[in-house]
Structure 1
Amino acid sequence: MKILTLCFVVALTTQCLHVNAQLIYPKTPFNKAEAEAMIGKDGTCTIKGQVAQKGNYLVNLVELYPCTAYFNEFMEMRKKDKKGKKPISMSDEAYSYRILTIIQQDGSFEFKGLNPGKYYLQTRVIQTKVANGEKQVGTETTTTYNGHGVQIASGSTPIMEKTRYLYQEDKMYFKYVDVAADGQVVTLIL
């Protein structure tokens, strides 16, 4: 019994290690200086935007990533994996060089202090919506007899009840943005 338990623990440990080892990272080394130069606080460029989806958002953040060589390779790897089956990831250091901003009540957002360059923006919009419908709550059976008491027909009709239900829509919106010159203000709809 002890040997069986030990084999089970070893098998689970091996599987856990195997899962962690499967993460796929871009081969291009992350260039910290390039990312810092793009999103440094000394920049004079601004990206202003509006989320196209109207309503209340459960996720109210927009993420901005500087398009470094590392990030571009990461996006190419994700594009090639159309079914999303490969565990493609960025390093923790590269991921830490993103900027987050809050979506305001009117759907607007803004990134300030950027330098010229290419940026990738994305947001996830999860909205709760209400819809009307009907649901079946039972069945009504009708039986018809002739004058002699012999059954000549039988049928069932569903009993329907009007109902309101909630559902969620979950969408990802993204866009590449080029900031060409110092002091430029780019306006977009995401």
Structure 2
Amino acid sequence: MRIATSVLTMAFVCLTGMSFAQRGPKPPKVIYPEFAFDSLTAREQLKRGTGTIQGIAFTKEKNNMGFKAPLGSRIYATNTKIVLFPVTPYFEAWRELRRKKEGKKTYVYMSNEAYRFRLETTTDNYGNFTFTEMKPGRYFLQAIVGWSTTHATNVYTGSGYNGYGRTDYYTPQYYSVSHSDRIEEYVEIKESGEVVRVKLH
């Protein structure tokens, strides 16, 4: 049996010694599925098998409307952690709750016990990853891909005068903007020994 031992930790920043008017925005509300987690089901699905999941993880830059550009270049998830969860009734309840409730003001978390039942691996420099010794069943893959874009703005550096009058001079100044995308995908191993290939994006 292979169960990751680290437990999801949730940190909340407490503001003290400040007046109500000085406090920042109200922190997001955290909710959990109101569904009993069955550890025996999750434990059974994560027992060793003979199947393999081979995948490649990547994202794409977003267009001006905030959507991934279908024809954009791939941004590979380099040295990125891939998390695998067995798809159990509790997991499905969590996904449905997240679909309905998650937003800027609400986070939907699994219980610590449910989060323990997962497998993890890390991609290579080209976004490739593998999970071996998997049993037949449905699984859910998730990763957070960090990437950045470079932009330029013209910075005023001075003015000069010539026969045509005043001329203002500008120099390009470059800066980076960091981004992160949550990429997810279901995958199913239908029979023992099967090798399933998946694009996680």
With normalisation by structure 1, the TM-score equals: 0.72
Gaps of 5+ in 2: 1-15, 18-26, 59-73
Query: What secondary structure sits across from 2:99 in the alignment?
Result: helix
Alignment of 1:5-24 (within 5 A): 23-24=30-31
Distance 1:137 1:63 in 2: 47
Distance 2:76 2:85 in 1: 25
Q: 2:178 aligns with which of 168, 171, 176?
A: 168
Q: Which has the higher helix share?
A: 1
Distance 2:128 2:53 in 1: 11
1:184 maps to 194
Code of the residue aligned with 1:103 in structure 2: it is T
Aligned residues of 1:103 and 1:109 also touching (Cα < 8 A) = yes
Greater Cα radius of gyration, structure 1 or 2? 1
Query: What secondary structure sits across from 1:28 in the alignment?
Result: coil
Aligned residues of 2:157 and 2:171 also touching (Cα < 8 A) = no
1:112 maps to 132
Query: What secondary structure sits across from 2:130 in the alignment?
Result: strand
- Residue 45 (structure 2) pairs with residue 38 (structure 1): yes
Q: Deviations over 1:6-47 (max 9, x none)?
A: xx99xxxxxxxxx8xx6422122111111111111x211111
Query: What secondary structure sits across from 1:87 in the alignment?
Result: strand
Query: What secondary structure sits across from 2:105 in the alignment?
Result: coil
Alignment of 1:1-190 (within 5 A): 23-40=30-47, 42-52=48-58, 53-55=74-76, 57=78, 60-129=80-149, 131=150, 133-138=152-157, 140=159, 159-190=169-200
Distance 2:142 2:168 in 1: 46
Q: Deviations over 1:53-88 (max 9, x none)?
A: 43574x611111111000110010010025242232
Query: What secondary structure sits across from 1:54 in the alignment?
Result: strand
Distance 1:137 1:110 in 2: 51
Q: Deviations over 1:87-137 (max 9, x none)?
A: 3211111001111101111210011121111111011111244x3523222
Query: What secondary structure sits across from 2:129 in the alignment?
Result: strand
Aligned residues of 1:37 and 1:115 also touching (Cα < 8 A) = no
Query: What secondary structure sits across from 2:108 in the alignment?
Result: coil
Structure 1 runs (4+) deviating above 3 angstroms are 53-57, 138-142, 156-159
Q: Between the two proteins, what is the percent identity of the paired residues? A: 27
Gaps of 5+ in 1: 1-7, 10-18, 143-153
Question: Cα RMSD over matched residues?
Answer: 3.1
Q: CA deviation at 1:165?
A: 2.3
